[in-house]
Structure 1
Amino acid sequence: MKLSGLLFFSMLMGLGMSVGWAQQPEFLYGKVIDAETKEPVSFATIRIQNKAVGVISNDDGGFAIPLKLKEIGEILEITSMGFREQKILISEFASDEVNIIMLYPRTIELQEVIVTNRKKKQLSAKRIVKNAIEAILENYPVNSFSTVGYYRDYQKKQNQYINLNEAILGVFDEGFDEYDNESTSVRIYDYRENRDFERDTIAEKPYNYTSGVKVIDKAFLRNYGGNEFTILRIHDALRNYDIDSYSFVHRLKYDFIKNHSFSKGPDTYLTNESLYAIRFRKEDMRYLAYGTLYISQRDFAIHKMEYALYDKLKMTPSINGNKNVTTGRLIFEVITEYQRVDYKMFLNYISFNNSFRLMEPPKFKVEEMLMDLKRLCFVVEFNKEPEKQSALIKNNYSLIYKGKKLKLKEIIIKKNQAYIYPNFSNVDERLSFFKELNTSRNKDNMIDAKLFSFDARNIVDEEGNEINVPTYIYLNQFREFFVQQVKPNVRGPVDSLFMKKDRPIFKNQPIIKPDDFSELWMNTPLKTIDN
């Protein structure tokens, strides 16, 4: 591969994206773009040549590398499935703008065909997948090893990052012939709650299926007895090939083939290796699941697995998730990619994304209800001005006194207040009523609900928001781990300074930095002006 310079420099303004330069000055920033479609190349691998360290591009193709690498004169190797490898001199990176790197799709080259009397047997898609699963213990490490990488969890709201948490983690794995959740240990080298991005206190709360404030609609996310990183790792169906991972993969070794149908897609390449692209699909009355396996034509090693599950009965309000699906709401999506190191396959990255429903407080509501003892009426104060026609309908108010609904005489609307006059036969009866309510108030100035209660419904504000009705929005929760270093044949240290799996990553965990910590960095997403 010839060494080339940057193919194109540009601020992201020219690509329809604005970047606010509140970026960290000790980093250089780049963005990987498909040279033909001009679309971002998500999850491209960016490695420093001759060093076992690098990063993975974000969903928008963006990445960050330390500024010090420019002074050293390092070379970046950028690879992504289906594209030609690109090598870039870091010394050519601009320090004050986002550097655009174009990747060109790699076309399938026709090789010479030697005519013989023996025809090469064509394997079916199902047979290729079966061979790949049977070869897992041959292609993936069974000896102990370590991976070090950048972990993050965050949510996306209107396509903006919120509640971004980041960490550098060291993972000590005993090998694929051991149960991951029982034998793997994790060290936290560094972490932070990134306050440069918006924090939404409601969205970052735990799932609550009792109150319904935050739920996965029509689904339930198990915690598998662990924290955020444990949840992420259990969704690596390759590492957990013989235990239950997720629907409808379940146990990859036993259930995946019988639960799905398979077909061949166009072959592709990763660097110089030819890969089968095997599409799979599962569909029933309610759910649709499908994705693609990228399998080596040489030894059936699975390089990449894409899996997405949709609820067909729910229309999606966004375009998040698998772009091939146009109907149905995304429940979750998992993308897992492995890389070759010393003839074995090691994790390169895993991205797990599930949608969830968030109940937000009503946009239009009653702030308080007061008694006006001069006018002998009730004053209902709204948080904003109501639409007058609906606010004047008497049946939209319910005043219950000693178990009976009061009739209303008149309603007057003044800006964001409604003056409600109960209907009494005479003045003495009206005075007696308000006197009883006034004297029955407790020390908190509240009236006993058994004596009197109030409710308002079917009233809307000028924007059409119904009173006291919460709004529901759908967001996406992401958990991702991008490997920066792979260390074959390494065992974990013998001490107790490991992450507590039953405790959130960002809560009272032991932190210890390794000797080579200066070679690691957090690949924080580019912060746009909208953020």
Structure 2
Amino acid sequence: MRKRLPTHLLFLLLFLVSNSVLSQQPEYIIGELIDSKTQEPIAFASIRIKNQALGIISNTDGSFKIPLKYKEYGDIIEISSMGYQTKEILIHNLSVYELNNVRLLPALFELEETIVRGEKKRRLSAMQIVQRAIANIPKNYPQNLFSTVGYYRDYQLKANEYVNLNEAILEVFDSGFGKIDTTTTLVQIYDYKKNLDFERDTLSDDPYDYKRSRKIVDNAFLQKYGGNEFSILRVHDAIRNFNVNSYSFVNRFDIDLLRNHIFSRDNSTYINGEAVYAITFRKKYPNFRTGSPKNSAFGVLYISHGDFAIHKMEYVVYDERKRTSKGTLNRHKGRGTLLFEVISEYRRNKNKMYLNYISFQNSFILWEPPKFKIDDILIDLKYEENVVLKNGSIKVLYNRTPREEEAVKPENYRVRFNGKRLKINKVVVFKNIVSLFPDMAQKERNEMLVQLAENEKNPIALNKILSVDVEPIHDIDGNVLNKWEKRDYNQFREYFVQQVKPNTHLPAQGKFMNKRKPIFEDQPVVRPDNFDDYWMNTPLQNIKTKGTSNNN
């Protein structure tokens, strides 16, 4: 007969178990947005509590997370994205413990033209639509101080994996579109971190190095614009900086865009139930007879049918000198590889357009140092009775063990002493050390080795009298001696607005970010009372889920 647990101990056990379960309760609802027809992820969609200012933007893989506390603000989340039907979902219908798959239906545009007083409006050309959009910028966008609070991140993609992910929550105080952004905008940092759950790659995290060409944007130059990564991102918002120079080929938006590009009308679409023109454009080349262009550029503007407000702008530049692999094309049906791409989207709030998100990516090349290299050249002197040298050698010390069948061949070594080529008649390999024995008379060899030994501790002097060049042999892992490896990366800088404050004021004694210093190094941090209303929408790859739940 088994003994029963005393009642007071049973209650204690149940209390501990329940507390353990509660402590493991997730903090977020996790989901991903999917195109119901193509099954592809939907990036940069707006996900908001209905009738509330707070919200997030889905990641490039369609993933998103919503704090459980958002149930306090409302029962319905509203999901919208360019070209899709807006969808509403009850928060209580979303699973807390599983990945929620949310599918959106494409929006079908029915009326291409509107009817006014019984007569069809004159069809505007693509260029006329863009002209009106530019002319209406001062009217459609805020001219007075406002702020946005959002999630900022920068990272790199290496073989489609996130590397060096840095995250922050920022409040951006913008004096209005009538002021120069780079000189008047101030930023407060609520929180920032270097995310150690993702790989940290110190080489790719280094600054761009055009002097030694160790880390470069190939066939282009990325300016620092006198600021940190967030400042660089802000400069690439051509709509916000419409009356100053922004980035290559768009240049000054209000003057150069129309002059430098060819425009076409595409099918209209919807965003948040509003009809918008889709205007595609490409870079204009002055003379095709001069040969193929070095770069090609393509863009799309989504412009309101009503007040010609610009809802979204996409712009991509390809390097035509660097081609895609055979049989593959970029999304504009060309062979050029991506140089950089900028996507900025605006959203209506109290009859004005405010930034919803901006994403800027550029490719870059990183030259990684050789894995297999020579660590040192040593002089080996062997004495008999401290007088006579015997079998002295020049030793090559590798950082890895070479393939013996290659390292033992004398013809793989070119040794010069005082400018004279020495013949090597014997090579001895022991692990990562190779001993070279010159073919010369004992007396001559002794004199050479003594001179080398006298200068061994002075590398500059030693290099003047001795040089050892080795053919590109391999180590036992297949790495080639002294071979630099070329790696392709993509750098991303992104800012996703979680709240817009149309009527705000600058903090009386605010501590603001130093734009000239990196965001993630010794910057002032200011946390407001409602700090918990904002969160870092870290990519889904870092989140483990137990399963999936469908919300069609």
Correspondence for 1:485 among 479, 499, 515? 499
Q: 1:63 maps to what in 2?
A: 64
Q: 1:517 maps to what in 2?
A: 531
1:418 maps onto 2:434 in alignment: yes
Separation (CA, whole Å) in 1 of partners of 2:28 and 2:403: 52
Correspondence for 1:290 among 293, 298, 304? 298
Separation (CA, whole Å) in 2 of partners of 1:321 and 1:152: 29
Query: Which segment is superposed worse, 507-516 or 49-58?
Result: 507-516
Q: 2:5 maps to what in 1?
A: none
Which of the pair is proportionally richer in helix?
Answer: 2
Is there any run of 5+ residues in structure 1 with no aligned partner, and where? 1-22
Deviation at 1:323, TM superposition (A): 3.1
Q: 1:302 maps to what in 2?
A: 310
Separation (CA, whole Å) in 1 of partners of 2:364 and 2:116: 56
Q: 1:353 maps to what in 2?
A: 361
1:97 maps onto 2:98 in alignment: yes
Separation (CA, whole Å) in 1 of partners of 2:114 and 2:321: 49
Secondary structure of the equivalent of 1:255?
Answer: helix
Deviation at 1:143, TM superposition (A): 1.6
Conserved? CA contact 1:73–1:89, under 8 Å: no
Q: In structure 1, what residue type is equivalent to 2:41?
A: P
Deviation at 1:219, TM superposition (A): 1.6
User: Structure 2 vs 1, CA of residues 110 and 117 (structure 1 numbering), >3 Å: closer, same or farther?
Assistant: closer
Q: 1:231 maps to what in 2?
A: 232
Correspondence for 1:440 among 415, 437, 455? 455
Deviations 1:25-66 (A, max 9, x none): 322211011111111000011001121101100000011111
Separation (CA, whole Å) in 1 of partners of 2:329 and 2:173: 31
User: Structure 2 vs 1, CA of residues 433 and 113 (structure 1 numbering), >3 Å: closer, same or farther?
Assistant: closer
Separation (CA, whole Å) in 1 of partners of 2:151 and 2:472: 50
Deviation at 1:415, TM superposition (A): 5.6
Equivalent residues in 2 for 1:144-183, closer than 5 Å: 144-183=145-184
Deviation at 1:446, TM superposition (A): 8.9
Q: 2:550 maps to what in 1?
A: none
Equivalent residues in 2 for 1:2-17, closer than 5 Å: none
Q: 1:397 maps to what in 2?
A: 413
Q: 1:20 maps to what in 2?
A: none
Q: In structure 2, what residue type is equivalent to 1:183?
A: T
Larger radius of gyration: 2
Correspondence for 1:449 among 454, 460, 463? 463
Separation (CA, whole Å) in 2 of partners of 1:46 and 1:317: 37
Q: 1:83 maps to what in 2?
A: 84
Deviation at 1:194, TM superposition (A): 0.7
Conserved? CA contact 1:278–1:292, under 8 Å: yes
Q: In structure 2, what residue type is equivalent to 1:169?
A: L
Separation (CA, whole Å) in 1 of partners of 2:208 and 2:42: 32
Secondary structure of the equivalent of 2:464?
Answer: coil
Separation (CA, whole Å) in 2 of partners of 1:315 and 1:240: 32
User: Structure 2 vs 1, CA of residues 322 and 48 (structure 1 numbering), >3 Å: closer, same or farther?
Assistant: farther
Correspondence for 1:507 among 492, 516, 521? 521
Q: 1:407 maps to what in 2?
A: 423
Q: In structure 2, what residue type is equivalent to 1:36?
A: K
* RMSD over aligned Cα atoms: 2.8
Query: Which segment is superposed worse, 386-395 or 139-148?
Result: 386-395
Q: In structure 2, what residue type is equivalent to 1:525?
A: P
User: Structure 2 vs 1, CA of residues 333 and 359 (structure 1 numbering), >3 Å: closer, same or farther?
Assistant: same
Q: In structure 2, what residue type is equivalent to 1:243?
A: V
Equivalent residues in 2 for 1:203-242, closer than 5 Å: 203-242=204-243
Conserved? CA contact 2:112–2:268, under 8 Å: no
Separation (CA, whole Å) in 1 of partners of 2:264 and 2:307: 19
User: Structure 2 vs 1, CA of residues 455 and 39 (structure 1 numbering), >3 Å: closer, same or farther?
Assistant: same
Q: In structure 2, what residue type is equivalent to 1:467?
A: L
Separation (CA, whole Å) in 1 of partners of 2:62 and 2:25: 18
User: Structure 2 vs 1, CA of residues 516 and 114 (structure 1 numbering), >3 Å: closer, same or farther?
Assistant: closer
* Number of residue pairs the alignment of both structures matches: 506
Separation (CA, whole Å) in 2 of partners of 1:274 and 1:446: 72
Deviation at 1:199, TM superposition (A): 0.7
Separation (CA, whole Å) in 1 of partners of 2:370 and 2:526: 44
Q: Percent identity?
A: 50
Q: 2:249 maps to what in 1?
A: 248
Separation (CA, whole Å) in 2 of partners of 1:321 and 1:138: 40
Separation (CA, whole Å) in 2 of partners of 1:431 and 1:114: 101
Correspondence for 1:341 among 329, 341, 349? 349
Secondary structure of the equivalent of 2:540?
Answer: coil
Secondary structure of the equivalent of 1:232?
Answer: helix
Deviations 1:224-279 (A, max 9, x none): 11111111001000000000000100000010110011111121111211111111
User: Structure 2 vs 1, CA of residues 456 and 98 (structure 1 numbering), >3 Å: closer, same or farther?
Assistant: same
Secondary structure of the equivalent of 1:138?
Answer: helix
Q: 2:260 maps to what in 1?
A: 259
Correspondence for 1:475 among 489, 494, 497? 489
Query: Which segment is superposed worse, 101-110 or 176-185?
Result: 101-110
Q: In structure 1, what residue type is equivalent to 2:464?
A: K
Conserved? CA contact 1:174–1:491, under 8 Å: no
Q: In structure 1, what residue type is equivalent to 2:200?
A: R
Deviation at 1:90, TM superposition (A): 1.7
Separation (CA, whole Å) in 1 of partners of 2:36 and 2:212: 48
Conserved? CA contact 2:198–2:542, under 8 Å: no
Q: In structure 2, what residue type is equivalent to 1:96?
A: Y
Q: 2:444 maps to what in 1?
A: 429
Conserved? CA contact 1:316–1:330, under 8 Å: no
Separation (CA, whole Å) in 1 of partners of 2:508 and 2:471: 63
Deviation at 1:148, TM superposition (A): 0.6
Q: In structure 1, what residue type is equivalent to 2:449?
A: F
Q: 1:189 maps to what in 2?
A: 190
User: Structure 2 vs 1, CA of residues 130 and 392 (structure 1 numbering), >3 Å: closer, same or farther?
Assistant: farther
Q: 1:128 maps to what in 2?
A: 129
Separation (CA, whole Å) in 2 of partners of 1:243 and 1:394: 64
Separation (CA, whole Å) in 1 of partners of 2:482 and 2:25: 43
Conserved? CA contact 2:171–2:189, under 8 Å: yes
